[in-house]
Amino acid sequence: MPSLKDLRNRIASVKATQKITKAMQMVAAAKLRRAQAQAEAARPYAERMAKVLGNVASGVQIGPETPRLLSGTGKTDTHLLLVCTAERGLCGAFNASIARLARDTANRLQAQGKTVKIICVGRKGYDILRRTHGKLVMELIELRSVKVLGFENAEEIGKKVLNLYAEGEFDVATLFYSRFRSVIQQIPTAQQIVPAEIPQAAEEAGSGAVYEYEPSEQEILEKLLPRNVSVQIFSALLENGASEQGARMSAMDSATRNAGEMIKKQTLTYNRTRQAQITKELIEIISGAEAL
């Protein structure tokens, strides 16, 4: 039976924790609004990009001159997994679910006899994957020092990926991130970025118009494709940012609620114990008086 002092201490400590989780929830809510606005602001660019790419690519015949970013290397032996997670924890299953998806994919590919290489963006994903797939991780890109995510950050990662591709380090690249659906729902997603997947809908929409190209189709495609990789990474990072804050917000909300429940339960125990002690003392006094 814990003493009254123990109970008091325990309640105080839960209260302090609750204050922290409450504060974290509010901070996450404020950050979520910003991250969501940023993700929404960036969406039109990604959409148009996909449309334009669809238009251009639908007019190009796949041949030996087609940029390799579109046609692929012709094999699927080596896969690069680009795993984007958060830099910080305490956001529910956010990091774990992305890492799980990446790990399952890696295991599946390895079972098929493919070579898997991993690049982690974000510390947390690396921490999780390191345990099981440490040898496969080529690089860890940290974005901890980045306050507001700009296109430059994505471009940097994009360039790295493109350089690796040019050197023949991999044949297929897949991006892992969490799509933001709502505050309580984030969907871990795997998306192939190299070779480029051409959206079907855009192809249909673009087939009507005959385009003039200046400079040539080929040159524009060569510029568009590397750019598309960076754009995909950028939008993935932004979606991830919003998802992270959403996940943290709901995780901290339930933590605050749990702390509240715990406080209630412990306060009840505290009061009961206190009452029991008072009763016991009274009985002692009364029986003492009776004995006289």
Q: Which residues bind other proteins (CB under 8 A)?
A: 38, 41-42, 44-45, 48-49, 51-52, 55-56, 150-151, 154, 208-215, 219-220, 223-224, 227, 231, 234
Q: Is 140 exposed, middle or buried (0-12, 13-18, 19+ CB in 10 A)?
A: middle
Minimum CB separation of residue 177 from other proteins in Å reads: 16
Shortest Cβ 140–other proteins spacing (Å): 23
231 with 70: CB under 8 angstroms?
A: no
Closest CA to 143 of 152, 151, 153, 134: 153
CB closer to other proteins, 223 vs 280: 223
Least distance between other proteins and beta carbon 69 (Å): 16
Strands 185-194 and 172-182: antiparallel
Q: Which is nearer to other proteins, 83 or 202 (CB)?
A: 202
Q: Could you give the CA distance from residue 273 to residue 118 in angstroms, rounded to a whole number?
A: 56
Name the active-site residue from 91, 109, 128, 233: 91
Residues 6+ apart with CB under 8 A from 126: 85, 120, 137, 140
Q: How far apart are the C-alpha atoms of 6 and 273, rounded to whole Å?
A: 11
Q: What sign results for the dihedral spanned by CA atoms 246, 252, 253, 255?
A: positive
Which residue, chain included where needed, has tokens 């959403």? 246
Is the Cβ of residue 42 or residue 99 nearer to other proteins in the bound state? Answer: 42
Q: Which is nearer to other proteins, 211 or 257 (CB)?
A: 211
| In the complex, minimum distance from the CB of residue 223 to other proteins, in angstroms, rounded to a whole number | 6
Q: How far apart are CB 213 and other proteins at their closest, in Å?
A: 5
Question: Largest Cα–Cα distance of the chain, in whole Å?
Answer: 114
Shorter beta-carbon distance to other proteins: residue 224 or 247:
224
Q: Give me the residue label for tokens 């599946």.
A: 108
Question: Shortest approach of other proteins to residue 35 CB, angstroms?
Answer: 13
Burial class (CB in 10 A: 0-12, 13-18, 19+), 245: buried
Is residue 91 flagged as an active site residue?
yes
Note the Cα 60 to chain centre separation in Å. 35
Residues 6+ apart with CB under 8 A from 213: 56, 220
Nearer to other proteins, 81 or 175 (CB): 175
Active site residues: 91
